[in-house]
Amino acid sequence: MSQFTERFDAKTYYLSTCYRCGGDILKAAERIITTNQGRIPKEMKAAADHAGNVTIIQAANRELSYESLVENITRHTGSWAVLARTGFHLDKIELLLHSQKIACRRTAGRSIWTTSTGDSLLRVFRMILNQNVDDSAHYALTALMKLQGDDLNEFEKRGAMNISAALYLLPESKGKQLLQVVTTVFADTINPVFIKRNITLLTAAIEQLVEEKKNLAIARSILKILEESTGSWHERLTMFVGRLTPTRENKELKLEPTVVVLTTLHGSKGLEWDNVAIVDCNVKSIPSPKVDTEEGIEEERRLMYVGMTRAIHRLELHTHGERSHYLDELLLDRLLPVKWVRYLADPNEPGYGPFSDINAA
């Protein structure tokens, strides 16, 4: 822009008024981007007649962090958006919101649950729970396990009663090996060692079937989410199987205030919501650890600024573990009206709230 101005002797007009977010939200966003050397010097002003609310929510781990997010979505009215640096974190949140029967829609990045690999794995999980072959299993049997012809027809016919009883019909193959694992890991358990063993067996069998690197990465991501989930073995699988609702229904959800929008920081540009939550504001997530140039570092700050200024009334910055240094910058600036709270899920913890104020000193 500066080169264009010099070359054509152009007159510059600065758009320095924000008509979207409250003043406190704008101040916090400005603090993040103010260190950028390549930024056009201008002082932004908020035209809104409300200050807005900025809250940093600290949790002990990702599970509790997402739990606090769901709790706030149900607590605070108005339109909601959940923003993440990458789509990987949105996959987990999409599954969690679905399990809580909270309507949501992805508007940026393809959900792993709608990929061929993701859809097939959900159907495999259903077979583990039911130990039989129903109409929903056909896609996994053909697309993932590569069964076909008479072998497929006979197996589906006999497998409708019981998978174990139909396995002898199949010749040795990688698909049969996965089905054998399906019958091995059927028992419910709350023992984390046994759950880990089940996932290890599934991983080994699936890795034999999935050859393309992209699809293999999707499969590993889903199995990792399964491992990081809570509850018994069957409770975890049931949560995943619930995601098998027709994809069309999700795509046709209108973006009404009651539908939570899931998108990336990039995908949020030009949009606005009453409430915005930016998740995984942690070291190695925000800013991206892949960025190692000065230009890239400044772009990461601009991206965070964009995400923060999508909020009209309420901005939540969720973190767990080691928080992003962006949040440290906000907390160290005593002039910023930023609230810092800790999410405590255990009623026995001192200061249980579950949201308890933290002294930022």
CA dihedral 252, 256, 257, 259 (to 10 degrees): 0
Give the model's confidence band at 10: pLDDT under 50 very low, under 70 low, under 90 confident, else very high.
confident
Tens digit of pLDDT for each residue in 60-98?
Answer: 988 899 999 999 999 999 999 999 998 888 888 988 888
Task: Answer for the pair 206, 197: CB distance below 8 angstroms, yes or no.
Answer: no
Q: State residue 354's pLDDT score.
A: 55
**pLDDT exceeds 80 at position 287:** yes
Q: Which pLDDT does position 144 carry in this prediction?
A: 92
Give tens-digit pLDDT for 314-359: 999 999 989 999 998 888 888 888 999 988 765 555 544 555 555 4
Percent of the chain at pLDDT exceeding 70: 83
pLDDT (mean) for 35-54: 72
Q: Please give the distance of CA 188 from its chain centroid, rounded to a whole number.
A: 27
CA distance 285 to 279: 9
pLDDT of 48 above 80? no
Radius of gyration (C-alpha) of the chain in whole angstroms = 24
Q: How many CB atoms lie within 10 A of CB 294?
A: 11
pLDDT at 264 over 60: yes
- Is the pLDDT at 279 greater than 60? The verdict is yes
Higher pLDDT, 359 or 278: 278
pLDDT tens for 208-237 read 999 888 899 889 989 988 998 889 999 999
Q: What is the pLDDT of residue 20?
A: 75
Separation of alpha carbons 278 and 83, rounded Å = 5
pLDDT digits (tens, 9 = 90+) for 116-125: 899 999 999 9
pLDDT tens track for 289-298: 888 888 888 8
Please give the model's pTM, rounded to 2 decimal places: 0.77
The 10s digit of each residue's pLDDT in 153-185 is: 999 999 888 999 899 889 999 999 999 999 999
Highest average pLDDT, of 112-116, 241-245, 357-361, comes from 112-116
Cβ atoms of 108 and 307 closer than 8 Å: no
